[in-house]
Amino acid sequence: MTQIIYSSVPFGFDEAILGGVLMDARRCNTRDGLSGALLCRRDVYLQFLEGSPTAVETAFARIRRDDRHLEVTMRASRSVPDRMFGTWAMLHDPAKSWMWSPAEISDGILDRASADDLWALFERLAVNSQTEGSD
């Protein structure tokens, strides 16, 4: 099982575009056996994907070509025995779990965050999502 975290800058962020991103992610992830979570705001997407190495690589390549994502940057990758978001095709968290302000994002905090910081962010989200059900 492979897990990755990447960031991107939304292009033309609004509710309709976000809805389309989530709908596409859930459809493709269900089809491809992926699960994950998307933390999003007007200034940044931070996404966690997990599944077979081939499925994760294919999904990431598709995201890199998607014109709704600018400046797609791989932040962390690891192999693990179990899923963190196994019941979620794509959990949507509208920045409720964020620890960084828009000013910090603009100042490059993601470039300074360690992989451990990012894994911890999604681990907290996974624990919190267990009480919310599945998508």
Report residue 116's pLDDT band, with 50, 70 and 90 as the boundaries.
very high
What is the reported pTM? 0.87
- Does residue 62 carry a pLDDT above 50? yes
Question: Which CATH number does the domain housing residue 85 bear?
Answer: 3.30.70.100
Higher pLDDT, 40 or 35: 35
In a domain, 17, yes or no: yes
- Domain extent, residue 124, equals 2-128
pLDDT per position as a tens digit, 36-59: 998 888 888 899 999 999 999 999
- Number of domains observed in the structure of the chain: 1
Report residue 135's pLDDT band, with 50, 70 and 90 as the boundaries.
very low
Please tell me the predicted confidence (pLDDT) of residue 33: 94
Please tell me the predicted confidence (pLDDT) of residue 98: 63
In a domain, 66, yes or no: yes
Q: Exposed (0-12), middle (13-18) or buried (19+): which is 59, by Cβ within 10 Å?
A: buried
In a domain, 29, yes or no: yes
Pairing of strands 44-51, 35-41: antiparallel
In a domain, 32, yes or no: yes
In a domain, 133, yes or no: no
In a domain, 135, yes or no: no
In a domain, 22, yes or no: yes
Residue for token pair 């962020």? 13
In a domain, 134, yes or no: no
| Token duo for residue 3 | 């897990």
Amino acid at 86: G
